[in-house]
Structure 1
Amino acid sequence: MTDICILGAGPGGATAALHLANAGHPCLLLDKATFPRDKVCGDALSGKVISELRRIGEKLPARLAAEPMQLPSWGIDFYAPNGRRLAVPFKPRYNPTLDQSAGHISKRVHFDNFLIEEVRRRPEIDLRENTEVARHEQLPDGRWRLLAADGQEITTCRLLLVANGAQSHFARVVGGHELEPAHHCAGLRAYYRGVQGLHPDNFIELHFIREFLPGYLWVFPLPNGEANVGVGMLTEAVSRKKVKLRERLEEMLHTHPALKDRFATAERLGPVRGFGLPLGSRRRPLSGPGYLLLGDAGSLIDPFSGEGISHAMVSGRHAADWAARALAAQDFSPAFLKGYDAAVYNRLWQELRLSRAMQRLLNYPWVFNFVANRAANNPTLAETISNMFLDLDLRERLRQPSFYLKLLLGK
């Protein structure tokens, strides 16, 4: 019997455990894998990830920056449907020799293990790897009972924090998060070595190829001359257009004018792996009797970028806060735990809503072309777009007609 059990030791679960440890609350952290372990992902760590690391421990961002398994990233290269490249630094007029980078790129096998190494340092956290929960049941007194495949009891707990990813059986069956094709993204990822023309300051690349819209292709540089390369598209669009993602990825890398020469001598490392992303493009319940849903299990992935690590960490922080409140009040009721839903959406909903609006713009390639053409010749506009990735108020401009009027008039 334990008060708090966390199911899943990825960024959301590890973050929750570390915040609970900081507050002096012991917890049990379970994961079916043994770390280090791989996770299919785009591998980009946004500025929000760095902010959340700092909330866990002031020295963690510097510790991450010193790791050889990561690269500092200074911006994004957008490739519009008309082929124009729009370089958007995370920080205008940055100096890579003096400034601290706003983002990083690291394989999940390394970043997740970076967090787990921090978990291992905390005596308040009982980490149990290679422990798969096959079944869960709620007892008459409200406690959750977790069982292994052989029927043996793993533990019972007063509060269950569910952070076991996009395929979470608990989130689907108990939390009601069924797969909704209009709010779900299908993706593929492969690792390559020897991709030519990567940005010297490790800008991540997003290619909006006309024939592939409303999907997009990414190229993210990695240490040791490698790159994470993949595609993503709404599951609804994949079904409607009958898109074969693996074939299209291969085709674009070897025939598209912006990519074919760069991949001509590149070597793929290992298989192409698929994954599904439950998007945060509509509000879903994040809690219920004695449980909280975190990160991908809570369908909190950014609808436009597909980024989920920072949102998992944000939800982990708030889950730790509300777990402590529930313990203090001895109240694990759905009514009390709805405070967790409110806290998470108060932090993330505006950004999720804006990202949903930007996602819908993928249906209008002329908008992308227009903005890219204008920004390439308008330093003020380019800087405004750059700030959108750090300042949410600026991203709101994309929803205002006056913003496009100023674009049209060249102001």
Structure 2
Amino acid sequence: MQETDICIVGAGPGGATAALHLAQQGIPSLLIDKAVFPRDKICGDALSGKVVSELKRIHPELPERLSQQPVQLPSWGIHFISPAGHKLSVPFKYNYNSAHDTPSGYIAKRVDFDNFLIEEVKKRPEITLLEGMDISSYTRENGQIRLSDSSGSINISTKLLIAANGAHSSFSRHIAGIKQEPEHYCAGLRAYYKNVSGLDQDNFIELHFFKDFLPGYFWIFPLPDGYANVGVGMLSEAVSKRKINLKREMLRMIAEHPELKKRFANAELVGDIKGYGLPLGSKKRTISGDNYMLVGDAASLIDPFTGEGVSNAMISGRWAATQAAQCLVQSNFSADFIQAYDKAVYNRLWKELKLSRQMQRLLDYPWLFNQVANKAATNKALAETISCMFTDLDLRERLKQPSFYMKLLFN
């Protein structure tokens, strides 16, 4: 039996961030993952400005180290293509200069970004990293949580468990009671293509909202060496209700949609089309309890509109480390004491998640989406406002106000 004060299950961005922040305070932790790194993770591969900010919090030099990696591309914004075909281009920073400014975001395959963080983990003597160990059992024993694998060869007892093991975390489902709800869960597919034409020179990511695929969306994210991450996402509730085969629909759009057909004419699918689930942060949940905290996808913190999960995983990992340090100081691992973690995470993220839920519902009104995109294409002030909405939540709050749309429609 191995005993530890803090055990983190899952060494993706959320778990690695928690371990690194603990290490910064001189606090040891045991970090476990069922995979051996580098390993693939099905994702859109976009790293927002929030990811860059969280890297800085771990170490001020980390964003610069990432920018020097050949596995990434700097990204300067998002193209939203409305159901009517209007392109709404939203730079992450208005009036940016790609030749001189520091990028606000990046695009990198998760196999590379996650390994980038793991290399930082391996530099820290405070972190014991165990790879290739699949924890399958969690039991309570003498006021602690006991972890073991299916063979019984791994036995760990911990005062505090940080569960950061993803959307399909057995601990989240069976111990923490987090349920998979179709109205708060998104189904997605991801594929890698080479030689897709028409990619943006400043590596804007593309979100296409085709009329015959709503409320789903189709994305194209450029990657180094001529590759692109291509995929689709749709609420599980809609997939089930409409009996949609996502893979068939994705391939149909690539083959038949006039714009995509042209751009994919000489493109080559590299590898398989893979599916995954995204537990959305569109409702508040209890994400901690006696002796444990949930982090990232295990806590269902994915943005309902953009599908982004990496930054929210890192934010929750940072707050988990803060709470863990307090638990050790106070020798208190009770649910009541750890509830401060839930408050901290939702204090940081809930307003943003709630607004993204409102934006997600905009897809139920494609004519309104078309109007917003069409006006913004010809109105510089509106385009700048929408750009700022990605970093200014007070501005984004306007999306909830009917007066915002009334002005769009009649001005």
Q: TM-score, normalised by structure 2?
A: 0.99
Task: State the alpha-carbon separation in 1 of the partners of residues 363 and 340 from structure 2.
Answer: 34
Task: State the alpha-carbon separation in 1 of the partners of residues 177 and 149 from structure 2.
Answer: 23
Q: List per-residue Cα deviations over 1:331-363 (Å, max 9, x = no partner).
A: 111101110000000000000000011111111
User: Deviation at 1:161?
Assistant: 0.2
User: Deviation at 1:127?
Assistant: 0.5
Task: State the alpha-carbon separation in 1 of the partners of residues 135 and 404 from structure 2.
Answer: 50
Preserved contact between residue 161 and residue 291 of structure 1 (Cα < 8 Å):
yes
Question: Equivalent residues in 2 for 1:209-288 (5 A)?
Answer: 209-288=210-289
Task: State the alpha-carbon separation in 2 of the partners of residues 367 and 117 from structure 1.
Answer: 46
Preserved contact between residue 188 and residue 275 of structure 1 (Cα < 8 Å):
yes
Report SS of the residue matched to 2:347: helix
User: Deviation at 1:71?
Assistant: 0.2
1:35 correspondence with 2:6: no
**Counterpart residue type for residue 396 of structure 1:** E
Task: State the alpha-carbon separation in 1 of the partners of residues 188 and 361 from structure 2.
Answer: 18
Task: State the alpha-carbon separation in 2 of the partners of residues 402 and 55 from structure 1.
Answer: 38
Question: Equivalent residues in 2 for 1:68-107 (5 A)?
Answer: 68-107=70-109
User: Deviation at 1:405?
Assistant: 2.9
Q: List per-residue Cα deviations over 1:291-350 (Å, max 9, x = no partner).
A: 000000000000111100000000000000000001111111110111000000000000
Task: State the alpha-carbon separation in 1 of the partners of residues 179 and 384 from structure 2.
Answer: 40
Q: 2:110 aligns with which of 103, 108, 111?
A: 108
1:322 correspondence with 2:323: yes
The aligned counterpart of 1:378 is: 379
The aligned counterpart of 2:342 is: 341
Task: State the alpha-carbon separation in 1 of the partners of residues 85 and 64 from structure 2.
Answer: 37
Question: Equivalent residues in 2 for 1:157-196 (5 A)?
Answer: 157-196=158-197
Task: State the alpha-carbon separation in 1 of the partners of residues 82 and 52 from structure 2.
Answer: 28
The aligned counterpart of 1:394 is: 395
Preserved contact between residue 19 and residue 121 of structure 2 (Cα < 8 Å):
yes
Q: List per-residue Cα deviations over 1:102-155 (Å, max 9, x = no partner).
A: 11000000000000000000000000111111211110x211111121123431
Preserved contact between residue 4 and residue 29 of structure 2 (Cα < 8 Å):
yes
Runs of 4 or more off by more than 6 Å in structure 1?
none
Preserved contact between residue 206 and residue 217 of structure 1 (Cα < 8 Å):
yes
Task: State the alpha-carbon separation in 2 of the partners of residues 347 and 306 from structure 1.
Answer: 18
* RMSD (Å) for aligned C-alpha atoms: 0.8
Preserved contact between residue 73 and residue 104 of structure 1 (Cα < 8 Å):
yes
Task: State the alpha-carbon separation in 2 of the partners of residues 260 and 160 from structure 1.
Answer: 49
1:45 correspondence with 2:55: no
Preserved contact between residue 371 and residue 409 of structure 2 (Cα < 8 Å):
no
Task: State the alpha-carbon separation in 2 of the partners of residues 8 and 134 from structure 1.
Answer: 13
Report SS of the residue matched to 2:50: helix
Unaligned runs of 5+ in 1: none
The aligned counterpart of 2:9 is: 7
Task: State the alpha-carbon separation in 2 of the partners of residues 76 and 254 from structure 1.
Answer: 24
Report SS of the residue matched to 2:16: helix
Preserved contact between residue 81 and residue 210 of structure 1 (Cα < 8 Å):
yes
The aligned counterpart of 1:147 is: 148
User: Deviation at 1:258?
Assistant: 2.0
**Counterpart residue type for residue 296 of structure 2:** G
Preserved contact between residue 83 and residue 258 of structure 1 (Cα < 8 Å):
no
The aligned counterpart of 1:351 is: 352
Q: List per-residue Cα deviations over 1:20-56 (Å, max 9, x = no partner).
A: 0001100000000000000000000000000000000
